[in-house]
Amino acid sequence: MAGARKKPNRAGKYQGFFLNMNGQRVFFTGTHDRRETLRMGEKLEDEHRQIRLGYREPPRSASKYKARPFAEVKDEYLAWGKTQGGIGGRPWSAKHAYYKATYLAWWVERLHFETMGDLDGILSKVENSLRDLKAKGKAGKSLLNYSEALKSFCLWCEKRGFLDHDPLKNLERFDTTPTKVYRALTREELRKLLSVAPENRQLVYATASTTGLRLGELIALRVSDLNTDLKVLNLHAEWTKNRKPGLQPLPLWLMKRLQESVKGKAPSAPLLDISTKNATRRFYKDLKNAGIPRFVPGEGITTFHSLRATFATLLIEDGADVKTAMTLMRHSTPDLTVNRYAKARREKLVEFTETVGEVARAGVESESKCAIRVHRTAANLVSGGEIKDLMAGTTGLETPRATSQNSDNSKTETPQNPAQSNTSKDKASPPDDKTIPTPGQEKDTLLHSKSAIRVHQDSLRLMPELDFIIKVWPDLSNEVRETIMAMVTKKEERK
């Protein structure tokens, strides 16, 4: 129940109290009039009772920040990021802080943010702005950078009560599939690049291709990072992409070359002679001198980052397991190492395809030779008279004899009548593979499955006796069929 104290405080004002929406007594300082202070307390208690009963929405802490200048909150956000906004409470890198400020400035100019209240209901406006950027040719990764700058700011404000909710919570992500694929240099191309480059850039390219360090990480290296005791480079969380410290192994010969190059330099001096302004331009110049194309169809573009892809590819080609390659590349998942950076060489694909092809070829040729051998065995049995009597006694048919003499006579003799001519042609002409009948519907027989179907047309021309057996096969009894197959199989086993 609302009320007011009987006596005023030292300033002459009365202190009032009321029960809030949670049933707790809350005190407040009223006016110099006790009755007016009591009426204020009763009004406040009535408002909280309506909230408790669900007739009114509860007050939001962000409401008092709606009129706060956007620029003031933005500066506070950037100051927080430069102090502790990075992974593990570390500060943002200078490059990251620069892009955050740049993107937020772009959003202020685009959507005219003046106060924090202007952030309410901005989802559709943000989506329209991103579509305009996409129409201007911005890649999905660039669109993601623009949207993430504003979204991360809104999340930061929500956690601190400057916003009731994240207005970009339902913003969908863009497709960030890379439009440019970095190719990996071949071994010969890497040798050419190192041979034409000046000595100072030789060390840069050699370090990049044997450690996989990115351009920004190479620029951040200092003389003190050359660890001669462990033969590694000291990597610091302040400038690595994953914001984690590490030790990157170096080849022994490169370690000695780097030691010689830094003699007389201060520990804080740059380890390599490279800068952001001229690194890309000089790299393209060395590519041209080495005769290395900047684009290869089916492989991608050649940039400075290709040296990192080259490192990953050489690791896999030289037998490194996935865990080792992933660790040396300093990736969090093997998917990045194997599917994004390590490349499959075209010549390797052709080489292994030919290897598998030889296995298949050997099997095909072996099966074809086996089928022809079985046909010839059966034909020899027929010609030798071993099956002749069996066929004649069962069907009353006689098998033809295809000798060289008969073959010559069949070519020179003129038939007496058309019937005889047609008969001789039928006996001499081999049937087409596609018209060979299935003997007795027994598809699993040796003579049919391993001989009739898979024998080449030229082989059948040499075996008219076997052709005759295939034609009359449906009229033979099962006993005769089994006897013929047993004879063929027995003779094959003797071979």
Q: State the DSSP string of 389-400.
A: HHHHHHHS----
Beta bridge partners of 233: 226, 248
Amino acid at 251: P
- What is the reported pLDDT for 165? 87
Lowest-pLDDT range of 172-176, 199-203, 246-250:
172-176
Amino acid at 443: K
Q: Which two tokens stand for residue 418?
A: 């058309």
Residue 284 scores a pLDDT above 50: yes
- What is the reported pLDDT for 416? 47
More confident residue, 379 or 17: 17
Say if CB 20 and CB 2 are below 8 A apart: no
Residue 365 and residue 461 in one domain = yes
Residue 209 and residue 141 in one domain = no
- With tokens 């950037």, the residue in question is 78
Cα Rg of the chain, angstroms: 44
- What is the reported pLDDT for 402? 44
| Residue 179 in domain | no
Q: What is the mean pLDDT of residues 224-246?
A: 91
Name the strands in the sheet holding 246-249, side by side, starting at the edge strand that comes first in the sequence: 226-227, 232-235, 246-249
- With tokens 């993430």, the residue in question is 148
Residue 206 and residue 329 in one domain = yes
Q: What is the mean pLDDT of residues 273-284?
A: 89
Domain boundary (344, 378, 408) is at: 344
More confident residue, 468 or 457: 468
Residue 38 and residue 74 in one domain = no
- Within 8 A by CB and 6+ apart from 409, the residues are none
Q: What is the mean pLDDT of residues 132-140?
A: 91
| Residue 171 in domain | no
Residue 141 and residue 248 in one domain = no
| Residue 250 in domain | yes
Q: What is the mean pLDDT of residues 276-296?
A: 92
| Residue 165 in domain | no
What's the pLDDT band for 134 if we cut at 50, 70, 90? very high
Residue 328 and residue 466 in one domain = no
Residue 456 and residue 377 in one domain = yes
More confident residue, 94 or 431: 94
- What is the reported pLDDT for 490? 66
Tell me whether residue 205 is exposed, middle or buried, using C-beta atoms within 10 angstroms of its C-beta: 0 to 12, 13 to 18, 19 or more. buried
Residue 108 and residue 29 in one domain = no
Q: Which domain holds residue 256?
A: 187-344
- With tokens 């104290």, the residue in question is 5
Residue spans of alpha helices (H) in 6-139: 34-53, 70-84, 94-111, 123-135
Residue 27 scores a pLDDT above 50: yes
This prediction's pTM? 0.58
Q: For residue 115, which phi and psi values (nearest 5 degrees)?
A: -125, 170
- What is the reported pLDDT for 136? 92
Calpha distance 184→344 (Å, rounded): 9
380-416 pLDDT tens trace: 655 555 555 555 555 454 545 444 444 444 444 444 4
- What is the reported pLDDT for 368? 57
Mapping DSSP to helix (H, G, I), strand (E, B) and coil, where does residue 435 land?
helix
Domain boundary (41, 59, 77) is at: 59
Q: How confident is the prediction for the chain on average, in pLDDT? A: 81
| Residue 180 in domain | no
**Domain count within the chain:** 4
Beta bridge partners of 3: 17
Residue 440 scores a pLDDT above 90: no
Q: For residue 120, which phi and psi values (nearest 5 degrees)?
A: -70, 130
Lowest-pLDDT range of 97-106, 113-122, 325-334, 376-385:
376-385
Calpha distance 321→342 (Å, rounded): 12
Calpha distance 451→453 (Å, rounded): 6
- Within 8 A by CB and 6+ apart from 74, the residues are 104, 108, 153
| Residue 164 in domain | no
| Residue 299 in domain | yes
pLDDT > 70 in the chain, percent: 75
What's the pLDDT band for 40 if we cut at 50, 70, 90? very high
Best-predicted range by mean pLDDT among 54-63, 329-338, 418-427?
Answer: 329-338
- What is the reported pLDDT for 250? 95
Say if CB 484 and CB 472 are below 8 A apart: no
More confident residue, 69 or 487: 69
Lowest-pLDDT range of 151-160, 244-253, 356-365:
356-365
Best-predicted range by mean pLDDT among 30-34, 384-388, 437-441?
Answer: 30-34
Lowest-pLDDT range of 81-85, 269-273, 472-476:
472-476
- What is the reported pLDDT for 178? 76
Residue 434 scores a pLDDT above 70: no
Residue 302 and residue 442 in one domain = no
Residue 441 scores a pLDDT above 80: no
- What is the reported pLDDT for 177? 81
- What is the reported pLDDT for 399? 47
What's the pLDDT band for 151 if we cut at 50, 70, 90? very high
What's the pLDDT band for 461 if we cut at 50, 70, 90? very low
- What is the reported pLDDT for 202? 94
- What is the reported pLDDT for 174? 82
Instruction: Give the single-character DSSP code of 447.
Output: H
Calpha distance 306→292 (Å, rounded): 12
Residue 52 and residue 86 in one domain = no
Q: What is the mean pLDDT of residues 206-228?
A: 95
Residue 183 scores a pLDDT above 70: yes
- What is the reported pLDDT for 346? 85
Residue 55 and residue 69 in one domain = no
| Residue 326 in domain | yes
Residue 193 and residue 335 in one domain = yes
Q: What is the mean pLDDT of residues 71-82?
A: 95
Q: For residue 103, which phi and psi values (nearest 5 degrees)?
A: -65, -40
Calpha distance 15→361 (Å, rounded): 100
Residue 377 scores a pLDDT above 90: no
